[in-house]
Amino acid sequence: MDTDGVTLGLIEIADSIKSMEIRGAGLIARSAAEALRQQAQEYQGDDLAELHRRLEGSRRSLISSRPTAISLWNAVQATLRGSSKATETEELRALVISNADRFIERSSKAVEIIGRIGSKRLKSGMAVLTHCNSKAALGVIKAAHADGKDISVYATESRPWRQGLLTVRDLSAAQIPSTLIIDSAVRWIMKEVDIVLVGADTICSNGALINKIGTSQVALAAEEARVPFIVCAETYKFSPKTVMGELVEIEERDAREIVDPRELPAGVKVRNPVFDSTPAEHIDSIVTEIGVVSPYAAYEVIVRELGQESIFEANEG
Ligand code: RUB
């Protein structure tokens, strides 16, 4: 246990999010809710202030584990919502556990519903292109396949972590034909693509999509070729923080993920931004668990689904 009373289990989860053993915005969110749930459950004492202190320590280590996906912040806020009003330890423990359970259940259900809604956009014979590895986007493809539609998929490699390999393995396990391409082949291949489906780490209040680096280039190539560019995103991927004017921090990871520095001449710099921003004007629609929405409806989604309180909380930091 560290000085904030944060348990080893929680530190492990926060570290796994940081090191990307746990990755993908939806899974990160569910894991954070589960970590807080465990933290509340494991505290056996009856010192209310101590449990508050532990949860606050947990909140801080989870939120700082990866900066870009708002799903993490939304999950932590939803799990701890109302906790400051608890007057007894048992009440606080029960509240955090039930909030976490509700978040995890809704989140998993959302991915399922998105699959059902999004699959209506896919017809037999279509070639889909997807970037990185998104459970929500893959859910749509799998739902269409389960409906008996004959779908094939182009999966980008997604350097440097090569999440595209996870995507083709996942598709292959579901017996969906897939073709792996390098990221720079997107514009060349686009003439064979009928629809692009990607996931989201964050959707800003102005409708901009923050997702794996290279997503904006995929969107531009799709637009040029008149191929619909569809985002598959649960409503907790929408950001109340951006309503309050905050800009999304784009995570930059270690340059050694890209190249061994010994291979480079002295003085050469390397940068490794891992997400980018696709403006709303390049997005056809966003498939959420409440239906298909325009990126320009992002503010309404935030107010309706995450609540005005999430905007107040975002202002508090
Ligand atoms: C993953 C990524 C995914 C989104 C959505 O990035 O950009 O497209 O997180 O995924 P990383 P999902 O591998 O760096 O976490 O739909 O599974 O939430």
CATH of the domain at 137: 3.40.50.10470
In a domain, 2, yes or no: no
pTM: 0.95
Our measurement of the distance from residue 197's CA atom to the centroid of its chain's CA atoms, rounded to an integer in Å, reads: 14
What residue type is assigned to position 89 of the chain? T
One domain for residues 69 and 176: no
One domain for residues 35 and 99: yes
- Mean per-residue pLDDT of the chain: 96
Q: Looking at ligand 1, which atom is closest to the CA of residue 198?
A: 8
Mean pLDDT value of segment 192-199:
98
Work out the pLDDT band at 1, boundaries 50, 70, 90: very low
Distance separating alpha carbons of residues 158 and 149, to the nearest angstrom: 26
One domain for residues 215 and 293: yes
User: How far apart are the CA of 131 and the centre of ligand 1, in A?
Assistant: 9
Pocket of ligand 1 contains residue 31 by CB under 6 Å: no
In a domain, 3, yes or no: no
pLDDT value, residue 5: 64
Give, for ligand 1, the residue of 16, 163, 196, 289 to mutate: max count of ligand atoms closer than 8 Å to Cβ.
163
In a domain, 250, yes or no: yes
Read off the CATH number of the domain in which 14 is found: 1.20.120.420
User: How far apart are the CA of 123 and the centre of ligand 1, in A?
Assistant: 25
pLDDT value, residue 7: 72
One domain for residues 156 and 211: yes
Tokens in use for 109? Answer: 């259900």
Q: Looking at ligand 1, which atom is closest to the CA of residue 137?
A: 16
One domain for residues 247 and 195: yes
One domain for residues 175 and 143: yes
pLDDT in tens, 63-114: 999 999 999 999 999 999 999 999 999 999 999 999 999 999 999 999 999 9
| Cα distance from N-terminal residue to C-terminal residue, the chain | 26
Residues spanned by the domain of 204? 122-315
Residue percentage of the chain with pLDDT more than 90: 96
Last residue of a domain, one of 79, 109, 139: 109
User: How far apart are the CA of 48 and the centre of ligand 1, in A?
Assistant: 36
Residue 151 has pLDDT above 90, yes or no: yes
pLDDT value, residue 317: 64
pLDDT value, residue 22: 96
pLDDT value, residue 3: 45
What residue type is assigned to position 316 of the chain? E
**Closest residue by Cα to residue 227 from 199, 276, 192, 183:** 192
Residue percentage of the chain with pLDDT more than 70: 97
